[in-house]
Each structure stands twice: as C-alpha cells, then as structure tokens.
C-alpha cells in the first residue's frame, strides 16, 4: 500500500485517513514560524525505509537540500539493487555530510553494489577513517579515490559478517549512527565498543529509537552499542518532527528581541526524539521561556538575563553558533565547552564564530575544545558576514539584525542545506530582507 504524509509529517500506512490537523491549524497564523522537518530524523527514517524495502513509497522530504540528496541517493541505490544495473554508478552527495556517511555505509552493506560515492572537495576531504575501518573489518570492500584515504570512494557492496568492533566515541556521532543503521543486515549484527566517551549521544539515541520503531533490537549504553541481526519492518505510522535545530535560531531571535514568537508543530522536549530539543533548556538560561501546546510552542521573555553563562555543549555542539551570537549581543559573557567537533563541520565553526563576531565588535577566545567571551570589545568592521558555505553560520548571524538594526549576510543560499524557506520566515519576526546580488541585507522593522 502506498504511503502518504499528513500535514503533521506523519507517514501513514493505514487504510483509513487519521490525519492530525494540529500543525495545519497552527500555520494559519500569519506570524507563526513554519520549520522544516527534522533533518536528523528524516535521514534515519529514509535509511530504515531503504532496508525495509519501502523507500520508493516514502513521501518526498523536500524541506532542505540534505534530505533531498539523501533520498535521491538512496533511491539510486535501491534502483541499482532492484534492476541489477549496478556497475560503476556515480552518486553525487554534493555537500551533505550526513548523506556521505549514511550512503557510504549503506552501499557497502548492499550485496552486489558497485558504485562511487562522491561530493564537493570539502566534503570528500572530511574524515571518514573511523567508520571505514569498522566497515572494512566487517568485510566491506571500500577503495579510497582521494588523497590520504579520503573520498570519493569506490564501493563493492557485499553481505557483511559483522561481529565485535571498536571505535572512538568522540568522533562524529554520524559514524556510529551509520554503522548502527546497517548492522541489522550483517550476518552477526554488531557489538561496537567505545574507546573514548561518546559525544553527541542524543543523535545515537535518536538512531536507536528510529530503528526500534522499525522492529530492530538495539541496546545503547555508555560503553558501546549492540545491534542484533534482524529484518527492518516499516511501522504503520511514523512521525518526522519539526526540526529543533532550526528552532534554535528563533530562540536566538527571542533572546535578542524580547518578543513573543510562535512556532508551529514544535514537539516539547519531553516528547521529542531530537537531542537538540535541549535548546529550550539552554535558552531558558538566557531568558527565553517556552510554553508548549498541541499546536507548537510560544517563546517569550522569561526571568532576568544573567551576566554570564557557562555550559557544556558536548551533546549539542550545533547549538553553539546561535547561542554564541545570542549571548554576545545580549552582553552576556559566556564559555562553551565540549565543542571541538565544530572544527570538522561544513566549516571550522569555532574559527567562523570568532572571526565574524569580531566584525561586530566582540573579541572571542577559542581553544581546542572551548569558545569564550569575557566582555572584551573591539572596533567593528563594516562588511558583510561571511558564511563559509555553512548554513548555521548564516542563520545565526542573520538574527543579529534584531539587536543591531541591520546586517549583511554573504552567500545567503547556503541556508538551503537545512532550511530552504528561512529568509521567507524572517519578516514574521520583524526583519525586512532585501537581496542584492550575492548578499542579503536584513533590517529591523516595526511589526
């Protein structure tokens, strides 16, 4: 039976239409923020659906480039497997790190596949060795076509043996999630021991939760993860939530404007699968209060804002750009620890935050695993904010216009990676957006 997706992004396999219209009702308000679906949940849902054999009937997840790329790549693999046309196919992942990790592992775990997984030069240069080492020990045939073992990768898929392996826990959690998703298809499943503490644990927890909804037995603990060999079975209903990572930028907006902001379909932290639902708690420290109902969330000014915030972002490093800009422009000193992996994202995010906040007059100190502002100011530089091909840098600095009155953001199309409709949402919070070539000019206006 073909699947269909309802307004609240619930994938429904049932014969009757039991659509919940809550998100649709919430979106009727012209000032209500409409978020994309969760990229993280969506990617895991697509991977699980690939193994369940239901990928061709999944709804198109078109809210962002990353999900389009993952869905297109997995459909290409699925088609190769079903038609037998699998020799030498090249699959271009573009700039999607999630797709690069997931699709590489899935292709290696698909018997008979012969393909090349490639992407942008920056993407191909990003580290993959920890994940590839486990896959090769499991029996995968993966050939590096780049320098020093980097991508692109030529993959000859096979039936992998699985077994017991080790991996550092403080590398990308996407390596661990990719291995987890593939492990049920391996003959002996997988027992993966972490040799260092696991970072970004909520993402691995999310992976386990999605897999369980598809009937897979997974046990995640501090020392490692065990995945039993088994068969993926698509559930009758599966909900892809609104994206908490995207919501973080509107929490930032609330902190900088002290205005009420309504967000449709945002699931409360207690009910969400997303680790970045911790955003609500972090921004509560910065004076933003959240209230949730069946239709979403309302952000409003909370208690008096502190003079300094010190937090560990080991489990939520992607929050750093929005949180850093919000704190600095609110004259709240801060120190964030547990952020070393930000150097390995779409750009070196620690360096980007440091450089671009200096343009706004804030002198930031960065170490190997921390970023800090102790109140030191400098002369401002009247130039556009550089975005380094990084969607989160663009969105975080865009909100600075709420406090500064105006800001220019270069290469605004980078937001398409995760939030294609981002610029169209900003007038709802009092920002006028004007495109001038490859720069977007944001000005604060009275609502």
Instruction: Tell me the per-residue pLDDT of 36-60, one tens digit each, with 9 for 90 and over.
Output: 999 999 999 999 999 999 999 999 9
Instruction: Tell me the per-residue pLDDT of 57-72, one tens digit each, with 9 for 90 and over.
Output: 999 999 899 999 999 9
Cβ-based neighbour number of residue 317 at 10 Å: 20
* Percent of the residues in the chain that have a pLDDT greater than 90, as a whole number: 85
Instruction: Tell me the per-residue pLDDT of 143-157, one tens digit each, with 9 for 90 and over.
Output: 999 999 999 999 999
pLDDT value, residue 25: 36
Least confident of 61-70, 85-94, 338-347, 377-386: 85-94
Decide: 100 and 132 in contact? Cβ < 8 Å: no
Give me the domains of the chain, ranges plus CATH numbers: 4-239 (3.65.10.10), 247-444 (3.65.10.10)
Which of these is catalytic: 66, 315, 318, 369?
Answer: 318
pLDDT value, residue 87: 61
Q: Does a cis peptide bond (omega within 30 degrees of 0) precede residue 26?
A: no
pLDDT value, residue 86: 55
Tell me the C-alpha distance between 247 and 225, whole Å: 30
Tell me the C-alpha distance between 347 and 353, whole Å: 10
pLDDT value, residue 89: 82
Instruction: Tell me the per-residue pLDDT of 159-184, one tens digit each, with 9 for 90 and over.
Output: 999 999 999 998 889 999 999 999 99
Cβ-Cβ contacts under 8 Å for 69 (sequence gap 6 or more): 93, 94, 96, 99
Per the structure block, which two tokens stand in for 440? 């977007």
Measure the N-to-C terminal CA separation of the chain; round to a whole number of Å.
47
Q: Is pLDDT above 50 for 218?
A: yes
Tell me the C-alpha distance between 51 and 100, whole Å: 17
pLDDT band at 366 (very low <50, low <70, confident <90, very high): very high
Phi, psi of 299 (to 5 degrees): -105, 135
pLDDT value, residue 344: 77
Write out the H or E segment, with its range, that includes residue 315. none
Decide: 283 and 255 in contact? Cβ < 8 Å: yes
Instruction: Tell me the per-residue pLDDT of 308-357, one tens digit each, with 9 for 90 and over.
Output: 999 999 999 999 999 999 999 999 999 999 999 898 788 999 999 999 99
Q: Is pLDDT above 60 for 75?
A: yes
Q: What is the pTM of this model?
A: 0.88
Tell me if residue 318 is catalytic: yes
Q: Is pLDDT above 90 for 108?
A: yes
Q: For residue 156, give the 3-state DSSP assignment.
A: strand
Tell me the C-alpha distance between 437 and 122, whole Å: 24
pLDDT value, residue 192: 98
pLDDT band at 241 (very low <50, low <70, confident <90, very high): very high
Phi, psi of 194 (to 5 degrees): -90, 125
Q: For the chain, give the mean pLDDT.
A: 91
pLDDT band at 109 (very low <50, low <70, confident <90, very high): very high
């Amino acid at each position: 039976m073909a699947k269909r997706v309802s307004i609240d992004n619930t994938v429904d396999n049932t014969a009757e239409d039991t659509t919940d219209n809550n998100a649709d009702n919430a979106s009727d308000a012209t000032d209500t923020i409409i978020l994309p679906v969760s990229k993280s949940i969506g990617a895991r849902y697509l991977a699980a659906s690939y193994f369940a054999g239901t990928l061709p009937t999944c709804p198109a997840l078109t809210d962002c480039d990353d999900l389009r790329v993952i869905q297109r790549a997995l459909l290409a693999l699925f088609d190769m497997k079903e038609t037998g046309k699998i020799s030498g196919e090249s699959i271009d992942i573009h700039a999607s790190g999630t797709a690069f990790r997931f699709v590489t592992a899935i292709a290696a775990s698909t018997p008979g596949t012969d393909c090349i997984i490639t992407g942008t030069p920056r993407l191909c240069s990003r580290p993959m060795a920890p994940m590839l080492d486990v896959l090769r020990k499991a029996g995968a045939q993966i050939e590096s076509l780049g320098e020093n073992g980097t991508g692109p990768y030529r993959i000859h898929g096979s039936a992998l043996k699985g077994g017991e392996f080790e991996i550092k826990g403080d590398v990308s959690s996407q390596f661990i999630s990719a291995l987890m998703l593939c492990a049920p298809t391996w003959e002996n499943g997988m027992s993966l021991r972490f040799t260092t503490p696991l970072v970004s644990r909520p993402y691995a927890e999310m992976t386990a939760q999605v897999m369980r909804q598809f009937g897979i037995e997974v046990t995640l603990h501090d020392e490692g993860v065990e995945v039993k060999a088994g068969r993926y079975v698509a559930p009758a209903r599966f909900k892809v939530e609104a994206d908490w990572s995207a919501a973080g930028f509107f929490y930032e907006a609330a902190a900088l404007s002290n205005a009420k902001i309504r967000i449709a379909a945002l699931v409360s932290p207690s009910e969400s699968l997303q680790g970045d639902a911790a955003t609500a708690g972090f921004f509560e420290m910065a004076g933003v209060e959240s209230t949730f109902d069946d239709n979403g969330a309302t952000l409003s000014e909370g208690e008096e804002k502190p003079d300094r915030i010190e937090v560990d972002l080991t489990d939520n490093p992607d929050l750093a750009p929005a949180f850093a800009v919000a704190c600095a422009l609110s004259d709240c000193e801060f120190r964030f620890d547990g952020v070393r992996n930000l150097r390995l994202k779409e750009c070196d995010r620690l360096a980007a935050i440091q450089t671009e906040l200096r343009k706004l007059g804030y002198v930031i100190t960065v170490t190997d695993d921390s970023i800090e502002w102790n109140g030191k100011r400098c002369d401002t530089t009247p130039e556009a904010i550089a975005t380094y091909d990084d969607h989160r840098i663009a969105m975080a600095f865009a909100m600075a216009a709420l406090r500064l009155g105006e800001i220019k953001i270069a290469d605004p199309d980078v937001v398409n990676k995760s939030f294609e409709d981002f610029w169209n949402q900003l007038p709802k919070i009092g920002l006028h957006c004007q495109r001038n070539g490859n720069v977007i000019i944001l000005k604060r206006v009275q609502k």
